[in-house]
Chains A and B, each alone.
Chain A
Amino acid sequence: MIKLFRSTGLAFTAAVLAAVLVSGAALAQQKVLKFIPQADLRILDPIATTAYITRNHGYMVYDTLFAMDAKFQVKPQMVDKWELSKDRLTYTFTLRDGLKFHDGQPVRSADCIASIDRWAKRDALGQKLAEATESWSAVNDKTFKLKLKKPFPLTLEALGKPSSNVPFIMPERVAKTDAFKNIEDATGSGPFKMVKEEWVPGSKVVYVKNTDYVPRKEPPSWASGGKVVKVDRVEWIYIPDSATAAAALNAGEADIWEQLPPDLIPVLAKNKDITVKNIDLLGSMGMIRFNFLQPPFNNQKMRQALLYMVNQQDYVIGIAGDPKNGYPCLSYFTCGTPLSSEIGAEPMKGKRDVEKAKQLVKEAGYKGEKIVIIDATDQPIVHAQSLLTLEMLKKIGLNAEIQAGDWGTLITRRAVKEPVEKGGWSIFHTWLVGPDMVNPAVNFPIRGTGEKAWFGWPTDPKMEELREAWFNAPDAASSKKAADAVQKEAFEFVPIIPTGRFILPTAYRSNISGLIIAPINLLWNVEKK
């Protein structure tokens, strides 16, 4: 009996060991890249949400007709060649050979048209393109036309938009989903395929190399160029605790951490096997947003007063922790991009002028109305800005307080148009990545369309005229001139106050190379030795 027990036990142990060794060996032959993303992926639909994590997922599994490179030029991506008619009203696009979806079906014109149509229902630049569009039509499966009602110089910029919402191309059957309903099917034609069976929302997302993907021959530059995948499998491992994420990277359980919190930079920098680097050179822009329907910030002078008070360096240090990871940016367009300038920014330059601010407050007729800053303590960037703004408001004698909650509470409360006594608000803070503030089209916070505008609901007809003029600018020089006029109006009307540009660095282990310097974390071209 004992012998039987022993032999059974030995056989069981041997079987377990064999299973472990075999499975380990199979995985060991694969190159698996372990990536700690900035957030957990819950929504798979990059059209239904502007969430950056979903956009990043989109870049893994989808492709785009055009894409922007590091010089802000829009290049063909899925498109092989394109033509514009002499009257500038008809674009003809021809797709590259060999484009296939993950289910093996070829990418057709109908897929592209349906995808653009769905994207245009949600995206502001897409909506402008749609306004100018007479029709989309398929000539054949590889060639399709866009017929415009009037010339729209930003057509290719729209189709190559780098950040949310990106005009990703999906199968027609998926793209026909209502634009206000999430898709569930992650089939795309991009360089990676999502392994949906292994998706554990809030914990892990798995992608494998799309072996049918035909990359372009050009070197990669931002989202354009050749998307050559050099690993077999990518695992996004969401680790909610920053200290644990740092420990995982230190221990080699992860290869790349997308965004470090500033206080952990020195911890990881000490490890010679880890590189901490700013790969997003555009950075992100913080901002103060006002409620334009309620006092006191329905008064332009009150908003202008704060221009003389905001010290962007303070905000940058508050958010990024280290002056090296942030820069003042006295522009409504992302610094370092073609349309940015300091035109109109005089109130924000130089030493902060408390007396001037107080004078403007007096001229505004401020009577001590309560100012409520709605804060989200679970969002460090928002929370840091809230604390700094509160201190600034108190310095000029304003009756301000913070009402804190979580992000979910903030974005619900900011939809309330009532006075603060009835649950309304006066100020909230947020931030956008650099590509989302590069021009008047994508920079939605500056829009002055009143009730149809973003939360805060500013009404600024002059801004809308200037934006329209920018849309119609026929060339780069007039585009810059029109953008300068938009910025000048923005510093006058003050739809938001930019609080500076900050960069959240990326950390990766020494056996990793090929990370693309871009404002989005792109995982093609990455090698793991």
Chain B
Amino acid sequence: MFAYVVRRLGATIVVMAVVAFVVFSLLYLTPGDPAAILAGDAATDDDILRIRAKLGLDEPFFVRFGGWVWALLHGDLGTSIFTNLPVAHLIGQRIEPTVALTVCTLLISVAVAVPLGVIAAAKVGTWVDRAVMAFSVLGFSVPVFVLAYVLIGTFSISLDWLPVQGYRPLREGVWEWFRHMVLPSTVLGIEYIALIARITRASILDVLAQDYVRTAQAKGLSSRAVLLGHALKNAAVPIVTIIGIGIALLIGGAIVTETVFAIPGVGRLTVDAILRRDYPIIQGVILIFSGAYVLINLAVDLSYMYFDPRIRY
């Protein structure tokens, strides 16, 4: 297993190198000029040319790419063109809300979706199963921002139970942090509950059709024991896979949720940077999160060994 982990980590570096080149190239080719945005509407051609020169944006591709890679190798993700703040600092500011939103969303999603999926599988073909699947379809279909507005209108404006927007760091108080997380996590979680519930149901139905489950039933085990003791653990591999994909997607940015709830997360940082052509931020974020995705996938792959002892690396 150690050799497998080392091989995968080595592959991570290769993946990140390819991502770095591709991202840098795409940004270089994308229309847009941060110097023009920086200078403002009233700027003239001359102003923009001078700013571009000051920022080094008029240098050839390989000079710029080489400079960026050299800085990366020294642990420097670069500096934002607009704010002059280090990219690492900007990501650092945004990581807590994103991680908090990711963790809360996944906890809610898994806690609700797995039991729902198990129940739907246990009651397959009944109204319970159909209700869960209908909910799942709704969860995919209702746009996130619509659900967000409805929940804000109900819980924040009418009932005044929860705040409308924003994020409170944990250091400002657990209770305020929690209050600010409830609505965004719920809104974002609905989609993942729908997804995880469907995968759980399908995976358990697949396992329930296996011979060893029939044997367990024939031996007189209760339905509950069969479901929870045998089927769920054996159905875990696809469920864990989808949870892992969910983590990766959430870290990358629940952009609509962050925008509607004004949460200063990584998703909004990235979108704002793209609109402004703040290249160092875009490059830095994509690079870091490509590495994170690869590591999350590695963790998911390693977790299979726990759920399925036949899997060994």
Contacts and interface: CB of A to CB of B under 8 A. Distances in A.
A147 interface: no
A254 B169 CA distance: 19
A19 interface: yes
B272 A415 contact: no
A478 interface: no
B82 A43 contact: yes
Contact of A411 (B37, B82, B85, B272): B37
A184 B82 CA distance: 10
Given A49-B38, A180-B47, A452-B46, A202 B84 contact: no
Contact of B84 (A49, A182, A239, A411): A182
A40 B262 CA distance: 12
Contacts of A413: 31
Contact of B42 (A164, A203, A237): A164
A23 B170 CA distance: 13
Interface in B77-120: 80, 82-85, 90, 93-94
A267 to B, nearest CB: 11
Contacts of B166: 237, 253
A455 B45 CA distance: 7
Contacts of B261: 244
A248 interface: yes
A454 B46 CA distance: 10
* Interface of chain B, main secondary structure: helix
A433 B261 CA distance: 30
B268 A202 contact: yes
Contact of A42 (B51, B83, B153, B163): B83
A180 B54 contact: yes
A453 interface: yes
A122 interface: yes
A432 B42 CA distance: 9
Nearest to B82: A42
Interface residues of B, number: 55
Contacts of B264: 200, 202-204
A326 B22 CA distance: 48
A50 interface: yes
Interface residues of A, number: 56
Contacts, number: 143
A382 B204 CA distance: 54
Interface in B18-43: 31-34, 36-43
Interface stretch (A79-87, A334-342, A361-369, A401-409): A401-409
A201 B90 contact: yes
Contacts of B32: 408-409, 412
A285 interface: no
Interface in A196-214: 200-204
A250 B157 contact: yes
A248 B44 CA distance: 39
Interface in B94-149: 94, 145, 149
Contacts of B44: 452-454
- Which of A48, A237, A405, A444 neighbours the largest number of chain B CB atoms within 10 Å of its CB? A48
B313 interface: no
B63 interface: no
B45 A239 contact: no
B54 A178 contact: yes
A407 B275 contact: yes
A248 B204 CA distance: 44
B160 interface: yes
Contacts of A178: 54
A529 interface: no
Contacts of A430: 41
Nearest to B40: A50
B175 A248 contact: no
Nearest to B256: A241
A257 to B, nearest CB: 13
B164 interface: yes
Contacts of B260: 241, 243-244
A251 B82 contact: no
Contacts of A253: 163-166
Given A180-B50, A239-B262, A247 B82 contact: no
A406 B275 contact: yes
Given A200-B93, A203-B262, A250-B157, 17 more contacts: A43-B82, A44-B83, A50-B39, A50-B41, A180-B51, A182-B38, A182-B82, A201-B82, A201-B83, A202-B268, A239-B262, A248-B165, A408-B33, A408-B275, A411-B36, A412-B36, A432-B42
Interface of A: 16, 19-20, 23-24, 40, 42-44, 48-51, 122, 164, 178, 180-182, 184, 200-204, 237-241, 243-244, 247-248, 250-251, 253, 378, 405-409, 411-413, 415, 430, 432, 436, 444, 451-455
